[in-house]
């Protein structure tokens, strides 16, 4: 995407637009591709069906929505004030499932990277590429 907007504005726009090539996952994919990394998508044979799988790097990437996956400390996460009885267990289950999947993948020898939607921008994606290439085990949520 052309740099007409700053990272922050761009990511806000991206959150508003659903579908098409502005989807956060597509942003991540095109960035990896430009960096010369090769990957596969949604491998159903892996726990949690990771969004992006880099077999040669033994790395998987989940691109996660801040609300649905409850990004810790993020302004987009938190349980809605109305219908809390519905949301609380639902979101809790998602968090527990994410954790279990991450753990299972790690036990299988995969490096797991989480990219939160609110973080997506040039800086975060550059760091992701660096992490994947270096085999850095840090699981970036910062």
Binding residues vs Zn ion (CB under 5 A): 66, 71, 74, 76, 116, 118
Q: Which is nearer to Zn ion, 14 or 118 (CB)?
A: 118
Closer to Zn ion by CB, 53 or 118: give it. Answer: 118
**Is the CB of 11 or the CB of 131 nearer to Zn ion?**
11
Task: Give, in order, the Cα–Cα distances in Å from 113 to each of 10, 16, 127.
Answer: 22, 24, 11
Half-sphere exposure of 21 (CA within 13 A, CB side): 3
Q: Which is nearer to Zn ion, 39 or 116 (CB)?
A: 116
Least CB distance from residue 124 to Zn ion, whole Å?
A: 11
Least Å distance between CB 81 and Zn ion? 19
Q: Which residue is nearest to Zn ion (CB)?
A: 74
CA distance 12 to 98: 25
* Other C-beta atoms lying within 10 Å of the C-beta of residue 126: 12
User: For residue 113, which of 97, 136, 91 has the smallest C-alpha distance?
Assistant: 136
> C-beta of 114: minimal distance to Zn ion in Å?
10
**What is the smallest separation between the CB atom of 72 and Zn ion, expressed in angstroms?**
9
CA distance 108 to 96: 19
Handedness of CA 43, 46, 51, 52 (dihedral sign): negative
């Amino acid at each position: 995407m052309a740099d007409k907007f700053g990272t922050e504005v761009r990511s806000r726009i991206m959150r508003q637009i659903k579908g098409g090539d502005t989807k956060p996952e597509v942003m991540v994919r095109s960035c990896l591709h430009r960096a010369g990394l090769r990957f596969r998508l949604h491998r159903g044979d892996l726990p949690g069906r990771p969004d992006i799988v880099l077999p040669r790097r033994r790395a998987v990437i989940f691109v996660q929505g801040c609300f649905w996956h409850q990004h810790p400390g993020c302004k987009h996460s938190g349980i809605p004030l109305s219908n809390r009885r519905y949301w609380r267990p639902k979101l809790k289950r998602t968090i527990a499932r994410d954790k279990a999947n991450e753990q299972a993948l790690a036990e299988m020898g995969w490096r797991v990277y989480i990219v939160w939607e609110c973080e997506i921008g040039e800086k975060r994606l550059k760091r992701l590429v660096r992490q994947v290439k270096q085999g850095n085990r840090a699981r970036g949520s910062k």
